[in-house]
Amino acid sequence: MRSKLNRLISSIFSDDKNLKKSNFERFFVEVGFFSKEQKKSIEEKIGVKINNFAFFEQALTHRSYLQISEQKIYSNERLEFFGDSILGMIVAEYLFLEHDVLEGDLTKMRSSIVNKQSLAYCAEKLGLDKFILLSFSAQKALQNGSNSLLADCVEAIIGAIYLDSGLENARYFITKKFIPLLNDNEFEYEKNFKSKLLELIQSQGKEAPTYKVLSEEGPDHMKKFEVGVYSENDLIGSGIGKNKKSAEQKAAKSALKQLKI
């Protein structure tokens, strides 16, 4: 066990730069999944010039796509791990410099920013969800409101930006693109309207509200769902969203408004 650990440590801190370079190049080879127009669109959405698109191609490759691809490719899981650390550091730095509050408050503020809901919201608002390479089953999960899939993609994009053009551009994306989106008036995912509605309904001695898809329209990559929320068979609110989860939240919000909460 100790010898294996020593070999691992030696490989991490190896001075063989040529070996490191070859390993790096092996993991990041552009396959060519995206057109020139798509590349330009992605560059515009993140607001950062792209030098080597191989990083971003991998950042947009979900592990499910490996099962159907005929190419030798890697998923975005490693970049997600890397980007998660960069995101946490830059958000902590941003909050520390911008807000003169106690550590406990900084921790709460960071948690409200660095979470799956806010990351997924960012992916949708920037339109990055339209470029993720997925299997059919993963596409269904995305349509049903898989926040983790979208959140992982944004973290991987952050990792790709860092590798492609450095820390300053990663900081730019996070502080000028990502964080400002959370101040958007439409950002309501951090407010759990479903939980509030559940508490209200149960406080009245009624059974938990139920949600039902009323309609869905559009192609698979641009679906829109209308969901209704019912209390004891009465429709008390409805909402439309890009996935069932967001539509349910909007339906709950609508119900709370109807009940004047």
What are the mean pLDDT values of the chain's consecutive 10-residue runs (261 residues total)?
58 52 71 91 96 95 85 90 96 91 87 89 91 85 78 96 96 95 55 83 91 88 86 93 84 88 56
What tokens appear for 21 in the block?
């370079």
The number of folded domains in the chain is: 2
The angle, 0 to 180 degrees and rounded to 10, between the axes of the packed helices 77-98 and 147-165 is: 80
CB 59 within 8 A of CB 159: yes
Burial 175-198 (b: 16+ CB within 10 A, else e): eebbbeebeeeeeebeeebbeebe
CB 244 within 8 A of CB 144: yes
Long-range contacts of 101-106 (CB under 8 A, 24+ apart): none
pLDDT at site 3: 62
Residues 167, 69 share a domain: yes
Has residue 202 been placed in a domain?
yes
CB 129 within 8 A of CB 145: no
Has residue 248 been placed in a domain?
yes
HSE-up of 121 (CA within 13 Å, CB side)? 23
pLDDT at site 142: 74
pLDDT at site 50: 96
d(CA 173, CA 170): 5
| CATH number, position 142 | 1.10.1520.10
Residue 217 annotated to the active site? no
Residue 155 annotated to the active site? yes
Beta bridge mates, 229: 211, 237
Torsion of CA 104, 110, 111, 115, to 10 degrees: -170
Domain of residue 138, residue span: 33-181
Residues 52, 174 share a domain: yes
End position of a domain, from candidates 181, 214, 239:
181
d(CA 82, CA 159): 6
Q: Which of 84, 124, 152, 164 is catalytic?
A: 84
Q: Which of 80, 124, 152, 155 is catalytic?
A: 155
What tokens appear for 40 in the block?
């330009």
Residues 64, 133 share a domain: yes
